[in-house]
Amino acid sequence: MTELTRIPAPDGVAPAAQYSHVVLGHGRFVAVSGQVALDENGELVGEGDAEAQARQVFENLRRCLAAAGASFDDVVKLTYFVTDLEDMPALRAARAEHIPDDRLPAASAVQVAGLVRPEFLMEVEAFAVLAE
């Protein structure tokens, strides 16, 4: 794990409620492609169920990070793509299972008209920094 500095509210910027505005770190950069709610066999988890899909998305992120020797402690940025903003609480709950409030990364949330398959409700990508 690399030493990361989180700045939730830089001077002159409104405080962040569910993310950090800035995260600083040095080391190796890890980019994790957007993860969707597919299990290890490529089967959809939680058709029409935002909570089940969010849990699977974060499990996939965890596995991808581990493959790079990283963990959620190393994540500096998450980007959420959702087809319905009403699904954000499910994503926040799944995130909270992996990332405590005092270690929140920078984040962006984007509502999209659709994802690569219509049954996907969300996709999340992650960026992490590992110590050199």
3 state SS for the chain: CCCCEEECCCCCCCCCCCCCCEEECCCEEEEEEEECCECCCCCECCCCCHHHHHHHHHHHHHHHHHHCCCCHHHEEEEEEEECCHHHHHHHHHHHHCCCCHHHCCEEEEEECCCCCCCCCCEEEEEEEEECC
Number of domains making up the chain: 1
Token pair for residue 117?
């398959």
pLDDT reading at 132 higher than 80: no
Q: Counting Cβ atoms within 10 Å, is residue 12 exposed (0-12), middle (13-18) or buried (19+)?
A: exposed
Residue 74: which CATH number?
3.30.1330.40
Q: Establish if 69 belongs to a structural domain.
A: yes
Q: Which domain holds residue 38?
A: 20-130
**Structural domain includes residue 6:** no
Digit-coded pLDDT (tens) for 44-53:
999 999 999 9
* In-domain check, residue 59: yes
Burial class (CB in 10 A: 0-12, 13-18, 19+), 116: exposed
Residue 7 forms part of a structural domain = no
Give pLDDT tens digits for 42-90. Answer: 999 999 999 999 999 999 999 999 999 999 999 999 999 999 999 999 9
117 part of a folded domain: yes
Report the pLDDT value the prediction gives residue 1, as an integer from 0 to 100. Answer: 61
pLDDT at 24 over 90: no
Is 9 a domain residue? no
* Domain contains 115: yes
Mean pLDDT score of the chain: 94
Judged against a pLDDT cut of 70, whether residue 96 lies above it is answered with yes
Measure the CA–CA gap between 23 and 14, rounded to whole angstroms.
16
Q: Is residue 30 part of a domain?
A: yes
